[in-house]
């Protein structure tokens, strides 16, 4: 595994010179220098040009591009070009094309038209990667490998016959025997028992709901299949260029790709960030916090963001002035060590011709978008030595598990309204509004650095999770678990004996019934004592709960479980375990988050006015860098902690308080060390 060490924050974007004549390349080099570009991603969709006929490779143009970048001291994030196979491949290897759940085979003509288990696809992809690796191994421009592109973006699941065979192999490795598989999938139900491995199929279109165990395993298998494609390429690249870091651009909380299982195979986590103009700032913050957390807090990279408008929404408004800069600074504020764009030069034609780019159709360096990109490039260049490699230290974490996501959103009842990521978002939003730093981590991971853990909708408890949470609370941690948690094991089997099964002792409750609401239903949660005193509307879900050691902090006000617990607290060991049995208003979520932070001794980074986000990165020398991000359209005043700071963007010395312009950013370096940070690797 290569620990990436870059000398500067990464800045640049997807660069497709092979769509342009070489006089345009020279213009690009000049403009890149103006914009302080340090790295570009090249070759992402170039397979058809590199291999115009089977086994005939043309690298001359890519050689010239790589040489040009080296001459201009611009690093190449060299893509392996395997995301879009040449058209002749689908003629020669038609079974390589993916098949939908209803049996339709797709065709070429856009991109990503391959089945991840396709033997010919894998063979041809690895042959290409082998040649690329050998050819550019010692090239001075080669700085990072960009494997494929957005795995699973368009084809996240394939249901073809090749996948059926590969699925059986995957299942044999997982279960060894048909008996074990039959047990895991509970196939005595509806006469589904398998007597021959060959009878097992992908969960294709069938008359009624497919077997939930089979569907869950198919999500697992497909994430693994895409990962296997990544790993095939990664293995080649590691053996030929062991010193060059590897990445692929993830798609944030993308359900088909289990980010945690992928992260250990990546040297740097990169992802594509496309907030709409209406996406709230806290949601983008969450994307960064998840991406940063995938690799234990190591700096991540925004591989793509749009300089202004995109082209794939129904209507694509421009980003308003200042917002791209603010979003870029927010990325750094949450631990990123680079922000890149899709794309450098706007396409003249094709499916993305109206997607914005750094260099627009007028090719001018005087337009709004180019000037903003160039200005930001200058700022990043200036910030680079001060923040590169610094880390966020979070004491609060939210648990997230892709397997739970797959299972809880393919339920045979009780509700089709449960959305796992929405539940994570709701609790993140509350913590973010308090300016608390948050990591997003796996339930079985080491919790010892945290004081507060929130586990929303943890329907599936995989092995070790219950023990892990129990140990965390016993040692003094504060835990909040929310409704419909602790229901099934990793096979999606209900753990019998009363919900929430393995969490029952820890939470000190017994959930006798859960009661999903229709959109028309609601209830209220009443709390008599301060600090949460009040009555709050609640939606989505109710439960009938009995106390088994916990105390009720709040109760439902109506229906057949009126006056029964809705919010409980159980003292366990040296800590406290809370349980929330419904989805209350945001107001209660924020008040509850504040209470939990107080009890867990989790402090906000700073107090700030509404709409001003504050984060802190800590450097290896112990000095803190504060980012103050004004997401409002008015200037805002922020009171600073004790001490003197250098305002890095304007080199002023400040103390006491600062004013941040509308949509503005201030980055402050503390003059004294606040203590090093333990997780620095």
Measured CA to CA, the distance from residue 625 to residue 674 in angstroms comes to: 10
Measured CA to CA, the distance from residue 477 to residue 447 in angstroms comes to: 9
Pattern 141-160, Zn ion, x by CB under 5 A: -----------------x-x
Give the one entry of Zn ion, ligand GLA, none that residue 355 binds, where binding means its C-beta sits below a cut-off of 5 to 8 angstroms depending on kind: ligand GLA
- 515 sits near ligand GLA (criterion: CB under 6 A): no
* CB of residue 457 to Zn ion, shortest distance in Å: 31
Rounded to 5 degrees, what angle do the CA atoms 240, 245, 251 make? 120
Rounded to 5 degrees, what angle do the CA atoms 644, 649, 653 make? 25
Please state, in angstroms and as integers, the Cα–Cα distance from residue 566 to each residue in 417, 558, 572, following that order.
19, 11, 19
Q: Please identify which residue in 47, 342, 484, 541 interacts with ligand GLA, judged by CB under 6 A.
A: 342
Measured CA to CA, the distance from residue 541 to residue 40 in angstroms comes to: 48
* CB of residue 228 to ligand GLA, shortest distance in Å: 21
CB count within 10 Å of CB 348 equals: 9
* For ligand GLA, the closer CB: 304 or 543: 304
- 429 sits near ligand GLA (criterion: CB under 6 A): no
Give the one entry of Zn ion, ligand GLA, none that residue 163 binds, where binding means its C-beta sits below a cut-off of 5 to 8 angstroms depending on kind: Zn ion
Q: Which stretch binds ligand GLA (CB under 6 A): 124-132, 304-312, 384-392, 636-644?
A: 304-312
Give the one entry of ligand GLA, Zn ion, none that residue 616 binds, where binding means its C-beta sits below a cut-off of 5 to 8 angstroms depending on kind: none
Q: Please identify which residue in 163, 453, 487, 506 interacts with Zn ion, judged by CB under 5 A.
A: 163
Q: Please identify which residue in 50, 246, 310, 550 interacts with ligand GLA, judged by CB under 6 A.
A: 310
* CB of residue 79 to ligand GLA, shortest distance in Å: 10
Measured CA to CA, the distance from residue 18 to residue 679 in angstroms comes to: 42
Pattern 218-257, Zn ion, x by CB under 5 A: ----------------------------------------
Measured CA to CA, the distance from residue 213 to residue 181 in angstroms comes to: 9
- 113 sits near ligand GLA (criterion: CB under 6 A): no
* CB of residue 45 to ligand GLA, shortest distance in Å: 7
Give the one entry of ligand GLA, Zn ion, none that residue 186 binds, where binding means its C-beta sits below a cut-off of 5 to 8 angstroms depending on kind: none
- 120 sits near ligand GLA (criterion: CB under 6 A): no
* CB of residue 287 to ligand GLA, shortest distance in Å: 13
Kindly determine how many residues on this chain lie close enough to bind ligand GLA according to the rule CB under 6 A: 10
Pattern 260-299, ligand GLA, x by CB under 6 A: ------------x-x-------------------------
Q: Which of 51, 233, 304, 613 is catalytic?
A: 304
* CB of residue 108 to ligand GLA, shortest distance in Å: 16
Q: Which stretch binds ligand GLA (CB under 6 A): 282-290, 291-299, 303-311, 539-547?
A: 303-311
* For ligand GLA, the closer CB: 143 or 343: 343
- 341 sits near ligand GLA (criterion: CB under 6 A): no
Tokens at 484, concatenated: 């419909």
- 399 sits near Zn ion (criterion: CB under 5 A): no
Q: What is the CA radius of gyration of the chain?
A: 26
CB 513 within 8 A of CB 488: no
Please state, in angstroms and as integers, the Cα–Cα distance from residue 628 to each residue in 35, 380, 386, 613, following that order.
24, 16, 16, 6
CB 296 within 8 A of CB 446: no
Give the one entry of Zn ion, ligand GLA, none that residue 158 binds, where binding means its C-beta sits below a cut-off of 5 to 8 angstroms depending on kind: Zn ion
Taking Cα atoms as reference points, which of 640, 638, 631, 642 lies closest to residue 664?
631
Give the one entry of Zn ion, ligand GLA, none that residue 115 binds, where binding means its C-beta sits below a cut-off of 5 to 8 angstroms depending on kind: Zn ion
Annotation says 150 is catalytic: yes
* CB of residue 218 to Zn ion, shortest distance in Å: 11
- Return the residues of window 150-169 that contact ligand GLA according to CB under 6 A: 150
Widest pairwise Cα distance in the chain? 76
* CB of residue 17 to ligand GLA, shortest distance in Å: 15
* For ligand GLA, the closer CB: 93 or 151: 151
Measured CA to CA, the distance from residue 420 to residue 398 in angstroms comes to: 12
- Return the residues of window 95-124 that contact Zn ion according to CB under 5 A: 115
Q: Which residue has the tokens 């796996």?
A: 442
DSSP one-letter code for 457: T
* CB of residue 100 to Zn ion, shortest distance in Å: 10
- 16 sits near ligand GLA (criterion: CB under 6 A): no
* CB of residue 148 to Zn ion, shortest distance in Å: 16
Please state, in angstroms and as integers, the Cα–Cα distance from residue 640 to each residue in 334, 434, 592, 625, 628, following that order.
19, 16, 26, 12, 10
Angle, nearest 10°, between helix axes 281-294 and 420-433?
A: 110
CA atoms within 13 Å, Cβ hemisphere of 96: 22
CB 437 within 8 A of CB 396: yes
Give the one entry of Zn ion, ligand GLA, none that residue 146 binds, where binding means its C-beta sits below a cut-off of 5 to 8 angstroms depending on kind: none
Measured CA to CA, the distance from residue 537 to residue 554 in angstroms comes to: 12
- 248 sits near ligand GLA (criterion: CB under 6 A): no
- 304 sits near ligand GLA (criterion: CB under 6 A): yes
> DSSP of 277-292, one letter per residue?
TTS-HHHHHHHHHHHH
Q: Is 146 left (phi over 0), alpha (psi -120 to 50) or beta?
A: beta
Tokens at 573, concatenated: 């060991």
Tell me how far apart the terminal alpha carbons of the chain are, to the nearest angstrom: 13
CB 452 within 8 A of CB 600: yes
Rounded to 5 degrees, what angle do the CA atoms 576, 579, 581 make? 170
- 305 sits near ligand GLA (criterion: CB under 6 A): no
Give the one entry of ligand GLA, Zn ion, none that residue 304 binds, where binding means its C-beta sits below a cut-off of 5 to 8 angstroms depending on kind: ligand GLA
- 233 sits near ligand GLA (criterion: CB under 6 A): no
Q: Determine the residue with CB nearest ligand GLA.
A: 272
Q: Which stretch binds ligand GLA (CB under 6 A): 127-135, 196-204, 302-310, 628-636?
A: 302-310
Give the one entry of Zn ion, ligand GLA, none that residue 149 binds, where binding means its C-beta sits below a cut-off of 5 to 8 angstroms depending on kind: ligand GLA
Measured CA to CA, the distance from residue 301 to residue 268 in angstroms comes to: 7
Measured CA to CA, the distance from residue 141 to residue 66 in angstroms comes to: 6
* For ligand GLA, the closer CB: 300 or 451: 300
Kindly determine how many residues on this chain lie close enough to bind Zn ion according to the rule CB under 5 A: 5
Tokens at 123, concatenated: 């063979």
Measured CA to CA, the distance from residue 340 to residue 494 in angstroms comes to: 45
Strand, coil or helix: 127:
helix
Q: Which residue has the tokens 């598989």?
A: 181
- 355 sits near ligand GLA (criterion: CB under 6 A): yes
Q: Which of 150, 379, 543, 613 is catalytic?
A: 150
* For ligand GLA, the closer CB: 251 or 629: 251
Measured CA to CA, the distance from residue 127 to residue 110 in angstroms comes to: 23
Active-site residue numbers? Answer: 150, 304
Q: Give me the residues that bind Zn ion (CB under 5 A), please.
A: 115, 158, 160, 162-163
Q: Give me the residues that bind ligand GLA (CB under 6 A), please.
A: 149-150, 272, 274, 304, 306, 310, 342, 352, 355
């Amino acid at each position: 595994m290569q620990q990436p060490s870059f000398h500067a924050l990464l800045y640049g974007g997807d660069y497709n010179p092979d769509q342009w004549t070489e006089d345009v390349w020279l213009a690009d080099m000049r403009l890149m220098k103006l914009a302080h570009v340090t790295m570009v991603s090249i070759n992402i969709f170039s397979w058809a040009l590199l291999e115009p006929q089977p086994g005939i490779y043309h690298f001359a143009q890519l050689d010239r591009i790589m040489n040009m970048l080296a001459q201009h001291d611009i690093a190449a994030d060299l893509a392996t070009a395997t995301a879009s196979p040449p058209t002749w491949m689908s003629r020669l290897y038609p079974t390589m094309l993916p098949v939908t759940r209803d049996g339709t085979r797709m065709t070429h003509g856009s991109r990503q038209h391959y089945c991840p288990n396709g033997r010919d696809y894998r063979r041809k992809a690895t042959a290409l990667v082998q040649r690329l690796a050998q050819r550019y191994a010692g090239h001075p421009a080669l700085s990072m490998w960009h494997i494929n592109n957005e795995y699973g973006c368009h084809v996240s699941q394939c249901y073809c016959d090749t996948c059926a065979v590969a699925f059986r192999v995957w299942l044999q490795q997982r279960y060894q025997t048909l008996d074990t598989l039959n047990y895991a999938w509970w196939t005595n139900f509806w006469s589904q028992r398998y007597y021959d491995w060959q009878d097992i199929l992908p969960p294709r279109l069938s008359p009624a709901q497919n077997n939930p165990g089979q569907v869950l395993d198919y999500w697992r298998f497909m994430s693994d299949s895409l990962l296997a494609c990544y790993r095939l390429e990664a293995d080649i690249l590691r053996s030929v260029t062991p010193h060059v870091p590897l990445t692929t651009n993830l798609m944030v909380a993308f359900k088909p790709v289990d980010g945690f299982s992928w992260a250990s195979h990546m040297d740097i986590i990169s992802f594509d960030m496309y907030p709409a103009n209406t996406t709230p700032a806290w949601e983008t913050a969450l994307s960064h916090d998840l991406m940063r957390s995938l690799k234990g807090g190591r700096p991540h990279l925004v591989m793509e963001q749009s300089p202004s408008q995109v082209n794939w929404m129904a209507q694509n408004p421009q980003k308003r002035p200042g917002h791209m800069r603010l979003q870029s600074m927010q990325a750094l504020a949450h631990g990123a060590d680079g922000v890149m764009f899709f794309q450098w030069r706007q396409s003249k034609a094709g499916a993305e011709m109206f997607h914005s780019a750094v260099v627009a159709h007028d090719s001018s360096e005087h337009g709004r978008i180019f000037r903003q990109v160039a200005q930001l490039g200058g700022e990043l260049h200036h910030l680079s030595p001060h923040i590169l490699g610094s880390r966020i230290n979070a004491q609060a974490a939210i648990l997230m598990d892709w397997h739970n996501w797959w299972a809880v959103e393919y339920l045979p009842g009780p509700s089709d309204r449960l959305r796992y990521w929405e539940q994570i978002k709701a609790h993140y939003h509350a913590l973010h509004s308090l300016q608390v730093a948050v990591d997003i981590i796996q339930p079985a991971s080491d919790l010892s650095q945290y004081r507060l853990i929130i586990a929303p909708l943890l329907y599936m408890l995989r092995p070790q999770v219950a023990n892990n949470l129990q140990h965390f609370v016993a040692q003094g941690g504060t835990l909040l678990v929310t409704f419909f948690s602790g229901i099934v094991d990793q096979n999606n089997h209900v753990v019998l004996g009363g919900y929430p099964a393995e969490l029952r002792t820890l939470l000190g409750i017994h959930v006798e019934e859960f009661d999903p609401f229709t959109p028309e239903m609601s209830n209220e949660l009443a709390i008599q004592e301060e600090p949460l005193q009040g009555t709050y509307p609640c939606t989505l879900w109710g439960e009938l709960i009995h106390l088994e050691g916990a105390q009720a902090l709040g109760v439902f006000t109506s229906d057949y479980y009126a006056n029964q617990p809705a919010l409980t607290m159980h003292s366990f060991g040296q800590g406290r375990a809370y349980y929330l049995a419904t989805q209350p208003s945001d107001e209660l979520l924020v008040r509850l988050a504040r209470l939990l932070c107080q009890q867990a001794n989790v402090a906000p980074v700073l107090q700030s006015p509404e709409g001003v986000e504050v984060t802190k990165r800590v450097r290896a020398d112990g000095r803190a860098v504060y980012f103050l991000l004004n997401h409002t359209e008015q200037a805002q005043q922020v009171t600073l902690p004790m001490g003197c700071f250098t305002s890095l963007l304007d080199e002023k010395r400040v103390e006491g308080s600062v004013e941040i312009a509308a949509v503005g950013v201030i980055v402050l370096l503390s003059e004294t060390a606040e203590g090093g940070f333990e997780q620095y690797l």
